[in-house]
Structures are given as C-alpha cells and as structure tokens.
Amino acid sequence: MEDVRSGDPNALDVLVLGMHYPPEHTGNAPYTAGMVAALSAAGHRVRVVTGYPHYPQWAVHDGYTGLRRHETDRGARITRVRHPVPRSPSALRRVVMDATFTAHAAAIGRQGARRPDVVVAVSPVLLTVLAGLRWKKPGRTALGVVTQDLYSRAVTETGIASAGAGRAAARLEGWLLGQADGVAVVHEQFGDGIAALGVDRDRVTVIRNWAHVESGNGDRTATRRALGWRDDEVVVLHAGNMGLKQGLENVVDTARLADERQAPIRFVLLGDGNQRSALEERGAGVGRLQFRDPLPGDHFSDALAAADVLLVNEAPTVAEMSVPSKLTSYFTAGRPVVAASWERSAASAEIRRSGGGVRVDPGSPQDLLDAVGGLAGDPARIDALATAGRAYAEEHLGAAAAHRDYQRWVEGLAASRTAQGGTP
C-alpha cells in the first residue's frame, strides 16, 4: 500500500487485527474474511495482520514457516505473524499464545502505508485490542472491536481458569472494550454482557454472523452411502470444533445409550479440535458413534444436507459466552436442529427465534436421545422445523446485509473521529 491516496477521496485506510483468517474454515475466520472483502469491495484500502492458520486442529498448517508471511486476499494485503500454538491449550498456554500474537502484531510498522483511519480488532483474541490501541489517536485513527465471544465468560464457563482469574478477565475485558470507539457484537444478548462490563451501550452495534456455507446440492442418497450412513438409521451430525465448550462427552455417552437400547440412531462427530483424541478414547467400542475428519467445501454442505438431524451441543458450564457459528450453516442446510443448551443461552434464543429446532438441557444423554427419537418418529415435524430454519436463514442470515452493516459501521467509526478530536 503506497503512501499516496488515489481513486475515491472518501476511501479509508483500514487495519484489521485478528489471529484467525482463512484458510481456517471454521470459527470466526470466515466472518473476518467476509468483513475484509466487503470493505475492499466498497473501495477502502484494507490491510490485515493475522496469525498462522492452526484452528481447530491446534497445529500450524503445512507450509506455513518463518516469522512473517505476506499475502494478498480479496483485495487486501495480508501479513501473517508467528506465534506459539499449544497442542493442549490450557489457560496459561492460551495467554502466552495470545500475548505473543499481540506483541508481534503491535510490532508491525506501516511499511510505507499511511496511518490507518480505522483499526478493527477482532476478539477472540481479546488482547488484540492492545495492539489496536497502539494506533488509536483522537481525531486521526478510530478503534473498533468485533466481539465474537465474551472473553471473560469463556474463561469462567469453560473452567480453564479459577473464579478469581475470571473476575480479573472481566475487569480487563471491560477496560479494553471501554477504550474502543465502537464495539460490534454478533448477537443481541451480547449487548447486555458488554454493558455489564461497564461499556456504554451507545457504543455497541449488533452485526449478526451470516450463513457462509452454501446449501448442499449433491445427491442425498449418494452422499449418505459415501459416508457410510444407512438409509434405515437416523443420522445426528455435529459439525465443527471439538473443544471444551462443546462438551461432546455428552454426545459420546448418548451414542452409548443408543447402543444399549439398540436405537436405529447414529451420532456423527465431524471436524477436529483439541478434545478429539480424548473423545475417541471415551467412545472406543461404541457402535453408534462415528468420527469424521473435516470435509472440504461442497462435501461439507452435502454432508449437512444428508444428515437427518443437526446437533448443537454445549458443555453444562457454558451458557452466555458465545453463539455457535455452526447454526448459520445448519439453518441454511434445511435440516432440523437439536440444541443441548441452557434456556438462557444465545443458541437457545436462536432456536426459538428461528423455529428451526428443539432444545434440551445440556449434559443429559437421556434427554438428547429422547429428543432425537421424538423427531425420528414425527416426519411432519421434521419437515416443519427444516422449512422454518431455512426460511429464517434466507431472511435474517444473508451475507449481503451483514457486509453492508460492517461497511457502515467502519465508516461511522471514521466519521466519529471529527467529533472526538477535530478534523482529521
């Protein structure tokens, strides 16, 4: 990016800071990339500082070596910085990884580019906001934060740290978000959580995640046959990360219960994550449990569409920390959703709002198996839930509206500089 403005005089220089970016295909990476693409398409000059791809496998992808890499993507310049990736991400190891990325990102200079008009820090990782603060300057550079998860709630609800550490994380999160000129959250319920941290609600904007996976269009019978799924069994598919917050021990135990009852139900865990090995060990010998490696592109969409039921499962300790991003893909797939999640969670709020699924309490194999069995015996209800979920995705989870909202949000942050510090 040269130190010369050209083209649209209203174009902004935008710096995006976030650890996760494609080729990571799950988590917040697709949404960060979508925001970047939208800003570039609007004519803004975008630079991204991100990490080395490693999620959800918790291992750096093959071919990514060295301390820094430079790429281009969707009209934006991408700088990747090295950071440790713990195979077993304990609280301390996560802090070391996050802090290393933040320090490396903050050390990136302008390299001939102008000072950014707007810096957008994407959380997680929360500490990335510290790197953003390096650039913030009243009247010149505004700072926005995109919050995909509530960091302090995650620390507490996943149990990776003590209650005292959770309180300290809440104080840190509140202070960091309070430094931002604006905070974008991905669900309405997050607004209350952000406000509870002491952040002015007027600075909070809701921009929902969108369905970034197309609906499957492959032959359903052929897909089931390729995946080893029989026509006479109900396939319950959980797709995505296998981590602590998913609490997938519940699914393993439900599959074992299905074995005991000889229920014609297969539970499939599709994806990867730091808990997969432990889950495979726990599920050894369970006949109605299947593990599948991540599937690329169209094959993933076809797998969702070929399943009978799509599953969201959250650990019993998890309630308010996040919105499972898989729900956008699930609703688009046009299959009924069962959510093992507490009533007050954002996942449950989405189930109610969409009408596309049913909810049971987390950590109860009996309840989960009964819910799946109830749907299996009611084809009319399956069709009704599937239709409602797909309609909800089409009306509320479109990428175009979210991309437009991000563009307006960033442009609004740039406009706010005048009020804060005079004419840029």
| Cβ neighbours of residue 125 closer than 8 Å, sequence gap 6 or more | 18, 19, 98, 101, 102
d(C-alpha 31, C-alpha 36), whole Å: 9
Q: For the chain, give every domain's residue range.
A: 13-210+398-421, 220-396
Query: What pLDDT tens digit does each residue of the chain (424 aa) get?
Result: 333 334 577 899 999 999 999 999 888 999 999 999 999 999 999 999 999 999 988 899 999 999 999 999 988 999 999 999 998 877 788 889 999 999 999 998 765 567 899 999 998 888 999 999 999 998 999 999 999 888 777 766 666 667 777 788 889 989 999 999 999 998 888 888 888 889 999 999 999 999 888 777 789 999 999 999 999 999 999 999 998 889 999 999 999 999 999 999 999 999 999 899 999 999 999 999 999 999 987 799 999 999 999 999 999 988 777 788 899 999 999 999 999 999 999 899 999 999 999 999 999 999 999 999 999 999 999 999 999 999 999 999 999 999 999 999 999 999 998 655 444 4
Strands (E), 95-163: 118-123, 142-147
Give the per-residue pLDDT at 193: 85
Instruction: Count Cβ neighbours within 10 Å for each residue of 168-180 and write b for 16 or more, e otherwise.
Output: ebbebbbebbeeb
- Nearest one of 65, 104, 64, 63 to 83, comparing CA atoms: 104
Q: Domain 220-396 classified CATH 3.40.50.2000? A: yes
Which tens digits make up the pLDDT trace of 341-357? 999 998 999 999 999 99
Strand order in the sheet with 13-17: 68-73, 76-81, 45-50, 13-17, 118-123, 142-147, 182-185, 204-206
Tokens at 249, concatenated: 């021990």
Q: What is the pLDDT of residue 418?
A: 62
Outline where 266-342 has alpha helix (H): 276-282, 297-306, 326-333
Report d(CA 205, CA 362) in Å as an integer: 30
CATH 3.40.50.2000 fits 13-210+398-421, yes or no: yes
The answer to whether 128 and 153 have CB atoms below 8 angstroms apart is no
Domains 13-210+398-421 and 220-396 share a fold: yes
Cα–Cα distance measured from residue 311 to residue 237, given in angstroms and rounded to the nearest whole number: 6
Query: What pLDDT is stored for residue 190 in this prediction?
Result: 85
pTM comes to 0.85
